[in-house]
Amino acid sequence: MKTLKILKIGGNIIDDEAALTQFLFNFSKISGPKILVHGGGKLATKLAQQMLVEVNMIDGRRITDQDTLDIITMVYAGKINKNIVANLQANNCNSVGFSGADGNSVISEKRPIKEVDFGFVGDVIQVNTSTLELLLNNNITPIFCAITHDENGQLLNTNADTIASELAIEFTKKFKTELYYCFEINGVLENINDENSVIENINTTTYKTLIDQGIIVDGMLPKLNNCFHAISNKVTKVCIGKPDMLFKTNTVYTTIQE
């Protein structure tokens, strides 16, 4: 089985032109099948402000009304995705931009309304790898934005970390898959104020302890839940850290273990 590398990059890389350019240069040099999943960064919020569309966040999550969905679709699938693809082509990395609607590759369902109506937010229910596989087998790299669809014509806003983990899990049927969450810090930190306090390995048992101790909180929780979901579903390797973990030797980062 060939190895498939799935990398997810977040807003901090997207928002920093020099960092993104450097990342894409390095990404283009990765040999073998690879997929990039990208989030959105601050551009969507900036555009919403310019368009006078109110940004509603509940518990750090964006409420996606129709205007917000349009903005996200324009920014993620349009501006960010196409500029990444054009940049990769300039680096001789043949790529094709994807949302979950393209190739019917990621199907989600609108999140049911409970205490909060998140609007057009989709939870992944199915991943179809056939179109992606066709491209990967022909040395073409899919570039995913965090938009999915419900198969009835409705686009939905979906968490990019989740798209990355669900793709990784489904691809275990065809590849040895490795999942890399790239962000601005070296990994999961024992002390949030100390970049050198990276916890190099976390497993299910130590994860619970770290939560109990209040070391893993806020946005790290859903990210790590995605990691453990992947590692417990046959994904070979799951890592969190700076992109350097893939491109430089002797870097420290967090590896997730069952």
The CB-of-127 to a second copy minimum distance in angstroms stands at: 14
Strands 155-157 and 176-182: unpaired
14 is a contact residue toward a second copy (CB under 8 A) = no
For residues 28 and 92, the answer to whether their CB atoms sit within 8 Å is yes
The CB-of-78 to a second copy minimum distance in angstroms stands at: 3
Nearer to a second copy, 81 or 254 (CB): 81
The CB-of-81 to a second copy minimum distance in angstroms stands at: 7
Nearer to a second copy, 64 or 226 (CB): 64
With H, G, I as helix, E, B as strand and everything else as coil, classify residue 145. Answer: strand
CB under 8 Å to 211, separation ≥6 — which residues?
221
- Binding-residue pattern over the window 17 to 56 for a second copy, x denoting contact by CB under 8 A: ------------------------------x--xxx----
Nearer to a second copy, 154 or 233 (CB): 154
Q: How far apart are CA 168 and CA 132, in angstroms?
A: 12
Q: How far apart are CA 17 and CA 157, in angstroms?
A: 24
- In this structure, which long-range contacts are made by residues 197-206, counting pairs with CB atoms below 8 Å and at least 24 apart in sequence? 198/241, 198/252, 198/253, 198/254, 199/254, 200/252, 200/253, 200/254, 200/255, 201/254, 201/255, 201/256, 201/257, 202/254, 202/255, 202/256, 202/257, 203/256, 203/257, 203/258, 204/228, 204/232, 204/258
For residues 183 and 235, the answer to whether their CB atoms sit within 8 Å is no
Pick from 4, 20, 102, 179: which binds a second copy (CB under 8 A)? 102
Which amino acid belongs to residue 159? N
Pick from 131, 197, 236, 251: which binds a second copy (CB under 8 A)? 131
138 is a contact residue toward a second copy (CB under 8 A) = yes
- Binding-residue pattern over the window 145 to 184 for a second copy, x denoting contact by CB under 8 A: --x-x-xxxxx-----------------------------
Nearer to a second copy, 26 or 154 (CB): 154
Return the H-helix or E-strand segment holding 170: helix 160-171
Nearer to a second copy, 102 or 170 (CB): 102
Pick from 7, 35, 37, 77: which binds a second copy (CB under 8 A)? 77
> Residue numbers of the site for a second copy (CB under 8 A)?
47, 50-52, 70, 73-79, 81-83, 85-87, 89-90, 94-99, 101-104, 131, 134-135, 138, 140, 147, 149, 151-155
